[in-house]
Amino acid sequence: MRFSKTIFITALALFSAKSLETKLQYVGVNEAGGEFGENNLPGIYNKHYIYPNIESIRASVEQGMNVFRMGLRWERFQHELFGEFSEFDVTEYKKVVDATTSMGAVLIIDPHNYARYNDNIVGSKEVPIEAFADFWAKLANIFKDNEKVWFGLVNEPHDMETDDWFKAARAAVDAIRATGATNNILIPGNGWDGAWSWGKEAWYGEANADVALRYFSSEDKNIIFEVHQYFDEDYSGTHDTCIQRPCQNLLKEFVEWLKTNNLKGWVGEIGGTLNDECKECVHELIEYLQENRDYVLGLQWWAAGPWWGHNSYSIEPNSEKAFPGQMAWLKPYLPGPSYLTEVPTFINEKVYCKKCEVTATGGDGSLWGWEDEKSCEIDKVGCGFVEKPTETSEPSQPTETSEPSQPTETNELDPNSCKKFEDLGFKCCSHCVHIYDDKTGLWGVEANEWCGISDECLVSYKNCWSEQYGYPCCDSNDVFLEDELGKWGVMNGSWCGIPNAN
């Protein structure tokens, strides 16, 4: 019996070694939660934000995942630029880091700040590059002795000059290296870090592919270039579709750039809803990346974390170590050691609490309770925390005594310009909430005066239909309510429209 077991284990080891020859070195997931509550900074732990559940990470490691990207907020770690770090957040964050790396997995530090501090861009007078370098020098000094900790400079820079971003990245790398840290460093690109646009000049003047080479080369040790890629219609990862087929095509330009310049790459975020289209898309992508594993070291799913609830992209395991179905898609590609041959799955449906007692608030505005020794989500509508949105609830119509005169109808002017409103003596609105329309166009009210809705709002409506009713678009696809206007979610405690739901 002992002999037979030894033969089986030896055979399994040989099979696993052969299998690893074709797999990516690293496959894992983003652990979100520490970056939540961006409107409440620094915020209250377990109310506005939370760090990952160590046992959930352990369940993923047991399935074969070997890398985890863990979000944080710069403003939470460092309440003032150049200031000392928050002892509480460093301690809580480090608990998860140490536990994860002790399991043999890599932990990527992810300041989920979009190259900003309090909404001010890195490199601006409010946030000088030196402040960004100082932040990273302090982080490096804390974690530099753990080689399984990698440094992801920041999440998805955008709306800044590409040269400004890579200049800041170079300064941060130099500051990290000055501490003696040799850890791997992940450098994202500008323009939301999309792989599909890596070589395109449309993003803020210059392409990532060109500017990155001004500041970095293959001579830089332990530098990895990170991209993100989703496969819905606008590459945002906010829809249930995966229509950019074949999905590997979106990565080819980036991979060829890596090959040409002898560089290493990383796919820091992919994701998709549980359907056959997205499943095939994910398989196409990973098969392609495996073929190019000499240049692409790994990839990570978006996302997991204790407050994702029933989010359609979530692969957070439950207390029984079962996962949403997408984990089963990833299982054949997971490179870490695992004695498990299958992934137990569950249907990731919304489970509301029986009562309305709130014990925590999610970063997306969701409310949570604790019943039967586990978390459950509060029914915000049923419990009366929010009212059903209506088309006329916000903003209120001007009263009869204060309502300005109706704008005069006139011949149709250029529909793509504010000029048609200005010719009538009205300004364009600074918002996109319309409450009246005529042959001229759409009208809103500002400072108790009529104003015209600009063409920029018309473009915005195509992607965010709820803006015209005074509600922003949600940053997730979680549906709380559906009415004649469309599908509604909740974000930061207020109603929001599910993008492209109409």
Would you say residue 340 has pLDDT above 80?
yes
The chain-wide mean pLDDT, for the chain, equals 83
Based on the number of CB atoms within 10 Å of its own CB, is 498 exposed (0-12), middle (13-18) or buried (19 or more)? Answer: buried
- Amino acid in position 318: N
Picking from 289, 254, 237, the residue whose alpha carbon sits closest to that of residue 22 is 289
156 is catalytic: yes
Average pLDDT of span 341-360: 81
Average pLDDT of span 177-194: 97
Structure tokens at 70: 């863990």
Pick the catalytic residue from 31, 38, 156, 206. 156
**Residue 144 backbone phi and psi in degrees, to 5:** -65, -20
Pick the catalytic residue from 269, 316, 377, 467. 269
Distances in Å between the Cα of 402 and the Cα atoms of 195, 406, 426, 433, 438 are 52, 12, 17, 19, 21
Grouping H, G, I as helix, E, B as strand and the rest as coil, residue 17 is helix
Rounded CA-CA distance 285/178 in Å is 37
- Domain borders along the chain are 21-349
Half-sphere exposure of 403 (CA within 13 A, CB side): 11
Average pLDDT of span 125-151: 99
Side by side, the strands of the sheet bearing 481-482 are 481-482, 487-491, 494-497
pLDDT tens digit sequence for 380-417: 777 877 655 444 333 333 333 344 444 443 334 345 55
pLDDT tens digit sequence for 291-310: 999 999 999 999 999 998 78
* Residues 77, 85 contacting (CB under 8 angstroms): yes
Per the listing, tokens 């137990």 go with 344
- What is the DSSP pairing of strand 296-304 with strand 26-31? parallel
* Residues 24, 333 contacting (CB under 8 angstroms): yes
Helices (H) and strands (E) in the chain, counts: 12, 19
Distances in Å between the Cα of 142 and the Cα atoms of 100, 258, 393 are 16, 31, 50
CB count within 10 Å of CB 178 equals 11
pLDDT band at 479 (very low <50, low <70, confident <90, very high): low
- Amino acid in position 222: N
Cβ neighbours of residue 422 closer than 8 Å, sequence gap 6 or more: 428
- pTM for the full predicted model: 0.71
31 is catalytic: no
Structure tokens at 5: 């077991």
Structure tokens at 292: 């190019």
The winner for highest mean pLDDT among 218-227, 405-414, 415-424 is 218-227
Rounded CA-CA distance 111/135 in Å is 10
Would you say residue 241 has pLDDT above 60?
yes
Cβ neighbours of residue 450 closer than 8 Å, sequence gap 6 or more: 404, 405, 406, 407, 426, 436, 443, 444
* Residues 246, 285 contacting (CB under 8 angstroms): no
* Residues 404, 449 contacting (CB under 8 angstroms): yes
pLDDT band at 426 (very low <50, low <70, confident <90, very high): confident
pLDDT band at 493 (very low <50, low <70, confident <90, very high): low
DSSP 31-58: E-STT--TTSSS--BTTTB-PPPHHHHH
Fold of the domain spanning 21-349:
TIM Barrel (3.20.20)
Would you say residue 467 has pLDDT above 90?
no
Would you say residue 439 has pLDDT above 90?
no
pLDDT attached to residue 471:
74
The angle, 0 to 180 degrees and rounded to 10, between the axes of the packed helices 208-215 and 249-261 is 30
pLDDT band at 74 (very low <50, low <70, confident <90, very high): very high
